[in-house]
Amino acid sequence: MTLVWIIFAYILGFAVRLVGLPPLVGFLIAGFVLNALDLGENSSQLHKIGDVGVTLLLFSIGLKLKLRTLARSEVWGVASIHMTATVLLFGLGIYGLALTGLPLFNQLDFGLSLLVAFALSFSSTVFAVKVLEDKGEMDSRHGRIAIGILIVQDLIAVVFLAFSAGKIPTPWAALLLLLIPARPLLMWIMNRSGHGEMLLLFGLVLAVGGAEAFDLVGVRGDLGALFLGVLVATHPKASELSHTLMGFKDLFLVAFFLSIGLTGEPSIPLFMAALGLAVLVSLKTGLFYWLLTRFRLRARTSTLATLSLTNYSEFGLIVGAVAVSNGWLPAEWLITIAIALSISFVLASPLNSAAHELYNRFHDPLSRWENARHLPDDEMIDPGDARIVVFGMGRVGQGVYQTLQEQHGACVVGIDSDSSVVETLQTEGWRVIQGDGTDSDFWAKVPQHSQVQLVLLTLPNFEANLDVAHQLSSSPYQGQVAATVKFEDEVEVLKQAGVDAVFNIYAEAGSGFADHVMHDLGAVALSSDPAKT
């Protein structure tokens, strides 16, 4: 039976991926199909595996938790106001439908209407991360804002899950506080775990073991997974651990989405109700954009962040599943939320794929909503009198910057979207500023306000380099462009996008290493005759 589940999940996940939708839509459909074919027996195994997936998801959220980001008003303020307004507006609307006696809705009182609205108030972390990673925009200004808002939402969900368990913590729960002074030990073990399977096992022990420990003392295990993730989030290997666990987390979450589909069979009334709920996503979208601009973010930042949040969330399914298991909601509502989630992804996918084009097309009406004053770190890029600009200050970008700075002096400026990277390099005396290379507003004004003659793209993501290349080709910029790639098949793509010179860092690294060795060992006589060496 397990093989049948895997085959159905893969086939339908692959099918929806071909049309540009997240695979989890296919996994939900696979669950519905398996249920219709009466192939859902022994689904308790799926539920257990799915629970592990949720645990790893929360642990991963903890690993990415940066309190400095969450402390920003445009993150926690927008997240909390948006969620409160959404729950009230959606709750009143759903309760109004309940008063009309509409099927499915007539099962809800005002409290349950607010509970359904609460489940619908979340946006998808899985969807947003996937979209931003594919476009290389995780570290962009709008990417960090969107992820910060999602983490605040996820924290609220964890609090709900902790209280929804109905457990009373035992006196032994106080011992959990000992995990805080044990943090240096956890960091030491993490450092000594290396980079391979031992680091993976360490993460699994922390996530699953932390959840079990919290469960044993009467505290929701999901909270334990999040708490352990936060404890080690500042370790240099936290990002590596998150990436290492990603495959396992995604695999286990497949079981969760399949189990949702197996809870019941969708019907015409349920689909129509879900379609109505999906329409409400437009209200979430408008509210997000309005709030972000009220918090002094530029129209471009607000638009791109909003589109990343234009959907319902897998956390809504988790909240719905808890509500159904506790007997608060009928099982039909979990299916309805699952269908609404799928429809929201269908609507959001093309919008995010064309996000930059949509902003450029509707720039004027969107800009009318901008606040007259922008946040200091959301101002447009200003390269000053620089003639050479290096986008992406990772290891390659830093090497490029140093070489050019030695050769050309102060006319070189580095630009990176990660504020922590910028701050570090600025303290070392580098001429580096924060900015996003895909900012069409900047490229539209480059000829008027700068002397830039050469742009070098050393962004770590090929899609990000390609996006900037497209921005340049459609802008008035007339200077030269060079870019780095990691694979040979990417070279021609960038050249067709208008890049003048493309450098394959892997291929050229080998050549550079050979030249370096021969230069340093030039005095050594090399013989072709092995007997003489």
CA distance 121 to 117: 6
Query: Mapping DSSP to helix (H, G, I), strand (E, B) and coil, where does residue 477 land?
Result: coil
Helix (H) or strand (E) holding 432: strand 432-434
Helix (H) or strand (E) holding 391: strand 388-391
CA distance 142 to 377: 11
Distances (CA, A) of 114 to 43, 195, 269: 30, 45, 21
Residue 136 DSSP symbol:
T
Query: Mapping DSSP to helix (H, G, I), strand (E, B) and coil, where does residue 484 land?
Result: strand
Model confidence over 134-189: pLDDT tens digits?
676 776 788 888 988 988 887 788 778 777 766 667 888 888 888 889 999 999 99
pLDDT at 277: 92
CA distance 29 to 266: 10
pLDDT at 533: 46
For residue 223 the two structure tokens come to 């909270």
* Complete DSSP assignment for 98-133: HHTT-TTGGG--HHHHHHHHHHHT---HHHHHHHHH
CA distance 437 to 447: 16
Which is nearest to 356 in space by CA: 206, 499, 464?
464
pLDDT at 92: 95
Classify each residue of 413-425 as buried b or exposed e, where b means 16 or more C-beta atoms within 10 Å of its C-beta: bbbbbbeebbeeb
pLDDT at 263: 67
Distances (CA, A) of 476 to 388, 413, 459, 501: 17, 20, 22, 19
Three-point CA angle 178, 180, 181, nearest 5°: 75
Which is nearest to 277 in space by CA: 150, 84, 30, 104?
104
pLDDT at 525: 47
Correct CATH for 2-38+46-367 of 3.50.50.60, 1.20.1530.20, 2.40.50.140, 3.40.50.970: 1.20.1530.20
Beta-carbon contacts of 510 under 8 Å, excluding residues fewer than 6 positions away, are none
Beta-carbon contacts of 171 under 8 Å, excluding residues fewer than 6 positions away, are none
Model confidence over 283-299: pLDDT tens digits?
999 999 999 999 999 89
| Length reported for the chain | 533
pLDDT at 516: 67
| Strand segments (E) across 309-353 | none
Distances (CA, A) of 214 to 57, 304, 410: 16, 38, 56
Classify each residue of 231-244 as buried b or exposed e, where b means 16 or more C-beta atoms within 10 Å of its C-beta: bbbebebbeebbeb
44-63 vs 197-216: helix crossing angle, rounded to 10: 110
Instruction: Classify residue 329 by burial, with Cβ atoms within 10 Å: 0-12, 13-18, 19+.
Output: buried
Query: Is 86 within 8 Å of 284 (Cβ atoms)?
Result: yes
Instruction: Classify residue 474 by burial, with Cβ atoms within 10 Å: 0-12, 13-18, 19+.
Output: middle
CA distance 317 to 204: 24
- What is the 3-state secondary structure of 349-384? HHHHHCHHHHHHHCHHHHHCCCCCCCCHHHCCCCCC
Q: Count CB-CB contacts under 10 A for residue 130.
A: 17
Which is nearest to 120 in space by CA: 148, 164, 89, 141?
89
pTM of the full structure: 0.75
Consecutive 10-residue runs of the chain (533 residues): their mean pLDDT? 80 84 79 78 73 82 75 90 95 93 90 94 83 73 86 82 70 85 91 86 89 83 82 85 81 79 77 90 95 92 93 85 87 88 84 85 89 76 84 88 86 84 88 80 65 86 81 80 87 89 80 72 53 49
Q: Count CB-CB contacts under 10 A for residue 506.
A: 11
Domain 380-520: CATH architecture, name and number where available: 3-Layer(aba) Sandwich (3.40)
CA distance 418 to 415: 9
The ranges assigned to domains in the chain are 2-38+46-367, 380-520
Amino acid (1-letter code) at residue 355 = A
For residue 189 the two structure tokens come to 């073990």
For residue 467 the two structure tokens come to 């996006």
CA distance 339 to 191: 43
CA distance 403 to 398: 9
Amino acid (1-letter code) at residue 371 = N
